[in-house]
Copies of this chain bind each other. A is one copy, B any other.
Amino acid sequence: MIRLTPEPLTHEGFKPFGEVLEATSNTSVAANDSRFARYMNLANVDIDDGSSGTQISLMICEKPSTLPYTLPLLERHPRGSQAFFPATNFAFYVVVAPPAAEPDLLKLRAFVTNGQQGINMARGVWHNPMIGMTAKQRFLVVDCGLSDNCDEFELAETVILEQPR
């Protein structure tokens, strides 16, 4: 009989088996105009189809936003989908427009999640740089870690995200 007593999970201890997904796992970069700290490449997503570009990261809200919120710009990722999943139960907002050479502002849609939902944005969907409403909110992100994967579009019109009804 073998009796195992769990030891606290640490990067060092788990290294022979994979990676720990947490914000101390790696260095962070300032993202979304420093509203988030993004901890990049937390995991080696190693899938048997030749893929190498998928990354798992954590984004932590450093500067919360409030509604009404004026969108600074829209962005899209031409090289892959992008999933956001809340690491605890909290609602978040997403503004999207269909893939196109330029976003059609008349087709903008705004959504609010129910607190448990995440989203996966399809490749090329125009969207707001993610905002958080509370400091230290964490999102798990699954997206393409390859270079040249963000196009930005400056908004000629003011776009304001209002409080949900």
Copies per complex? 2
Q: Does A48 contact B (CB under 8 A)?
A: yes
A89: interface (CB < 8 Å) = yes
Complex-state Cα separation, A88 to B115, whole angstroms: 11
A4, B144: Cβ atoms closer than 8 Å? no
A34 close to chain B: CB less than 8 A: no
- Shortest C-beta distance, A17 to chain B (Å), equals 4
Verify B144–A48 contact, CB threshold 8 A.
Answer: yes
> Is A65 in contact with chain B by the CB < 8 A criterion?
no
Interface string of A118-149 (1 = CB under 8 A from B): 11111101010000000000101011101001
**CB of A127 to closest CB in B, whole Å:** 8
Are A7 and B54 within 8 A (Cβ)? no
A27 within 8 A of B: no
